[in-house]
Homo-oligomer: A and B are copies of this chain.
């Protein structure tokens, strides 16, 4: 794999390794960029389809803005350019000529979208106003890793404008809650949700909210964010509206997004030693049917039965694949689909056809049930799929519960995070940006989030010794 710039790391199932072996992605000859293969892309399509509906139900339709952004736009918001300029890919030549002004490939689209908002928004009647965009973005990352951090990635970015701080901040939280429901119901992941610390805030945001997923390797993954941007961008891009009182006001802006990193969260969040375990709601194939036969006569009998069964399950709205590859044995196929994480398998041999039944194998529990009557199979399959979806969520929820602990000192924190499963440490904190950097240096961990559901509690900051009123959650992170 000489062309790769990905840096594998051996833990549980190492992400790049599993993503590659399960045929979700491949390394590309372009620095830090991956190829998303059909099996991986189908997961993304299932994510898109569901989340897109949820975003539209929130009142935000899709639109599309240019990939290329004039460099001067990036500079209009001071914090934003400081955060993103080092990661930008820059087009200096086009159509055989040097450009008068270089164009950057969008690392995120605040600047170009807010330029348009400035043209479109006129009155309080236009607010709240918002759009969503499904797009590719490029950030020149030094250390890349399949799905988690790639130079180019796919995402959706929502951008909304509001009349007041309250309306904007409330909507930023509403979109975070929309993500949270999507994570639990579709991805079967139980994220910890709350506000980010100062050091982890989006470049240009007043408040950043985040969903942090605890992976099987004990690290946390920032898997989605929602930002209340205040009026900074509105001032930079002159997004003003005529208020009810007929005064010109600057709008309050939000942005929020999730990316193909979610596939990384799935891979590292749902796996065991056999490989991936995909939640049925996003699995490319919810059921893989594996024909078992020896003779040519058995083959035609079994394949005909598989085709019937496939048609029946498809009719029920399920995603089905019959693995009729002649070149590998049933055993090899069991292993393959265990690695690839198909939630359910149906094993169908001549005896099953004769007895009008089939064997069902669950990926998560590895329980096999023989001799399920064909008449009951479709209902049983749907019941098992619901059960797997629920079980995976519960498994992740338990994982968070079991690996979240309360510590009272820096020493204890370092020790806890370096042993066992890793996980989240609840610590008292009253430090600022500098102390956050110190924490990172000393423990290789960082403040992931201050969860909404942490109660107020008096305590002492583990770094500064100052009084603290609430605990934050610290973890090692990608």
Tell me the A residues contacting B by CB distance below 8 Å. Answer: 26, 28-30, 33-38, 41-42, 44-45, 61-70, 73, 85-96, 102-103, 105, 112, 115-116, 119-120, 125, 131, 135-136, 138, 140, 142, 151-152, 154, 327
Closest chain B CB from A46 CB (angstroms): 12
A116→B28 contact, CB < 8 A: yes
- Contacts of A131 on B, CB cut-off 8 Å? 38
Q: Which of B44, B45, B66, B85 contacts A28 (CB 8 A)?
A: B66
- Contacts of A61 on B, CB cut-off 8 Å? 38, 41-42
B65→A35 contact, CB < 8 A: yes
B38→A68 contact, CB < 8 A: no
Chain B residue with the shortest CB-CB distance to A154:
B64
Q: Which of B93, B116, B125, B151 contacts A92 (CB 8 A)?
A: B93
- Contacts of A93 on B, CB cut-off 8 Å? 89-90, 92, 102
Given known pairs A86-B96, A92-B92, A140-B94, the reply for A41 and B28 (CB within 8 Å) is no
- The distance in angstroms between the C-alpha atoms of A61 and B284, with both chains bound, is 11
- Contacts of A91 on B, CB cut-off 8 Å? 89-92, 105
Chain B residue with the shortest CB-CB distance to A139:
B95
B103→A95 contact, CB < 8 A: no
Chain B residue with the shortest CB-CB distance to A120:
B26
- The distance in angstroms between the C-alpha atoms of A71 and B96, with both chains bound, is 13
- The distance in angstroms between the C-alpha atoms of A73 and B3, with both chains bound, is 14
A140→B95 contact, CB < 8 A: yes
- Contacts of A86 on B, CB cut-off 8 Å? 95-96
**Chain A to chain B contacts (Cβ below 8 Å), 7 pairs:** A35-B66, A67-B138, A67-B152, A85-B96, A88-B94, A89-B93, A95-B142
Given known pairs A68-B138, A95-B140, A140-B95, the reply for A115 and B41 (CB within 8 Å) is no
Which one of A30, A33, A85, A119 has the highest number of Cβ atoms from chain B below 10 Å of its Cβ? Answer: A30
Closest 8 CB pairs of A and B: A95-B140, A33-B66, A38-B61, A89-B94, A36-B64, A90-B93, A30-B66, A94-B140
